[in-house]
Structure 1
């Protein structure tokens, strides 16, 4: 298969062209013939015009690429090597939502041919590829695994907004259903990953490796969040504590904050779901999830408490929340925990305005039920300002700016500690 791809006798297809799929498709398209498939016709048309619907890539990223963007099964049928990169979210009960993955597997199954390869990149619990996806491929194609087609798993490591750690510069974990497929898949990814590949011993090992990468970060951030709540009661600044502790060579430098997005705030639930299915309750992981999921409400309550101490009538107060995306300098609003801050403030009858230089107001309204106000409509009488996301434009602000948009005795809540030691007159608080 590798030789056929290299000689452009076979095409590689990427199914799902979001934050993960599009960069992969474009990287491969500089080396081999690629089909970029997405079920959203509007997004496909944007990419045909060298536009990234996710806002991550510039038009130049599309140049020099041998790629066909499509939503047609007939075009997809031309491929022999399929990379599935669709989202794997959780539902309202924090249970794995495999609908996108099942849909993508059904689509691939309909065009699968004898000798084809399918590689999954979507984050899943160990066993999902073999137990959930392969039976769908067999059912839809009428083929038998592994005699008629090969399957592998290579977890995505795309970090939205990160221009340094890209597909090419991060070691890629790859796996296959047997020794032959492992080698073919590894060589294919080596075409685009200059950092090299790590050959995992099995598909389940590769699935597990991905899911603990984010689970480890989640648990460590939960510890920082819990410490910040403890230190707040002691009237100690958490960031000062972390700076002091960070002088030790083996101290792990994690920070407190809101944990949202499509990875850290989601992936641990896939692992705990599978553990529960096998009769084990993942106490540490779920404890970390509980802590992190509760941070939005905690920050909102702290904001209200500080306003009351400043003599504010909460029911008549106005708060400006700056930032609504799940992290800094991206357009991605998926699983943004800023929504939890806003909802909790509104539960206290606070009048909340929200601004964000990157987020789409319509998307926010559809997903969370609130919209942005234009920057030009920012008032001068806010009782509190919550800097929720450290977008680059916000890092340039100073106390004079915040004073210009607030009423007397206002509160500045600085979730990420951007303005620590820079605020002297406003009532200031950070995690």
Structure 2
């Protein structure tokens, strides 16, 4: 960038940390997080999310702190905190509002700073909620003393190809001048370039429909899976045949959790309903996907002759090869099996045992594969599980037991040669 700038990134999770590290290569960057344990770990070279290696942390000039007062006045404040839903699937904006209040305590009018939001929200939140909150707390005028911008995060945990320094970054700003500055900031850190959205609301909307679209497509896969199951037809065989058509969209069935796909559609539906628009398709897709864990548990129970027994669930993270537990539907699956009377053991070599206990009340068993179970569910096929050998997974299935392969990683030949029943979707 042509002139020296300073950035403060608020929130050092899966989104904030990689972004802050990328920005620190070009501008002075501070990383602020309220979790003292997290900041301490980063200072010691450990990233519990697995997004940055110890070597990358050692090399970055990024500065970490839990104290907003320790951050010098900045030109950009970038908010990257989570935006979950509550127990009724309504948007929970409490964290992003709390982060906004933290930013308010750091704003200084003379610099005319830009506050950039990356947290997923429905269209209007940045300008209609966050901006007025900053004005209320500071006495400053939005658009005069400070400015707003929005750039939706596109972090895919565990993805080493679509990293923040390679993807196209959508950017937006309150004024053309702000848009120029935000474009320059992000353009300096990504080889994928920037896309200038026509407004902040457009950028907010783009984010929520990216994930809502994927959610709806997966919901269709899950619905046809349930239909074909009644015909004793594997959806994987159907998809292999249908996938030979040039324009067939290659989505797969499964448990839809995580911080984006399982959450963002509710934000869009909430805003639609506020405006008097029925979000039928969006909510129908969410309904199918939210119910998939229960359906799988019922199918397992049915295939076991409705006899409860011991069950081992392999994998608890919301997707393969990451330790991320956010909105894990595997936890729902384990709970549903338990409600049907099965004695459930869960093992995940990537997930922090303390986090699993805290988030879901699930005590991970590191020795789980050393015993036998009536049912073994390969729910999350981490590479480390597969590379350790399928023989061990088969071996944990008791004679006459059931091995469930939710993601179709066991070959048809291996399934047919198995001495236990193998079921996949």
TM more than 0.5: yes
1:3-14 correspondence runs (5 A): 3-4=2-3, 7=4, 10-14=5-9
**Whole-angstrom distance in 2 between the partners of 1:207 and 1:403:** 46
**Structure-2 residue corresponding to 1:41:** 36
**Structure-2 residue corresponding to 1:192:** 189
Shift of 1:379: 4.2
Runs of 4+ with deviation above 6 angstroms = none
Residue 373, structure 1, aligned to residue 370, structure 2 = no
Residue 356, structure 1, aligned to residue 348, structure 2 = yes
**Whole-angstrom distance in 2 between the partners of 1:272 and 1:306:** 36
**Structure-1 residue corresponding to 2:108:** 113
Shift of 1:395: 2.6
CA offset digits 1:118-163 (Å, max 9, x no partner): 1000000000101111011111221101011111000000000001
**Whole-angstrom distance in 2 between the partners of 1:116 and 1:347:** 53
CA contact (8 A) 1:318 1:384 kept: yes
**Structure-2 residue corresponding to 1:129:** 126
> SS in structure 1 opposite 2:195?
strand
CA offset digits 1:300-344 (Å, max 9, x no partner): 1111111117xxx41xx1011000000001111010000111111
Are residues 143 and 405 of structure 1, via their aligned partners in 2, closer, same or farther at CA, if it must alter by over 3 Å?
same
TM-score, scaled to structure 2: 0.96
Q: Higher mean Cα deviation, 56-65 or 182-191?
A: 56-65
**Structure-2 residue corresponding to 1:250:** 247
> SS in structure 2 opposite 1:408?
strand
CA-based RMSD of the aligned residues comes to 1.4
**Whole-angstrom distance in 2 between the partners of 1:66 and 1:48:** 11
Unaligned runs of 5+ in 2: none
CA contact (8 A) 2:394 2:403 kept: no
Shift of 1:208: 0.3
**Structure-2 residue corresponding to 1:385:** 376
**Whole-angstrom distance in 2 between the partners of 1:55 and 1:363:** 15
CA contact (8 A) 2:312 2:368 kept: no
The alignment of Structure 1 onto Structure 2 pairs a total of residues equal to 420
CA contact (8 A) 1:111 1:141 kept: no
**Whole-angstrom distance in 2 between the partners of 1:398 and 1:109:** 53
Residue 319, structure 1, aligned to residue 311, structure 2 = yes
Shift of 1:420: 3.8
Are residues 218 and 83 of structure 1, via their aligned partners in 2, closer, same or farther at CA, if it must alter by over 3 Å?
same
Aligned with residue 222 of structure 1, among 212, 219, 224: 219
CA contact (8 A) 2:8 2:29 kept: yes
**Structure-1 residue corresponding to 2:286:** 289
1:96-111 correspondence runs (5 A): 96-111=91-106
CA contact (8 A) 2:73 2:107 kept: no
CA offset digits 1:340-390 (Å, max 9, x no partner): 11111111111111100111122111111111101x343443111000001
**Whole-angstrom distance in 1 between the partners of 2:128 and 2:159:** 33
> SS in structure 2 opposite 1:157?
coil
**Structure-2 residue corresponding to 1:164:** 161
Unaligned runs of 5+ in 1: none
**Whole-angstrom distance in 2 between the partners of 1:56 and 1:73:** 24
TM-score, scaled to structure 1: 0.95
> SS in structure 1 opposite 2:305?
helix
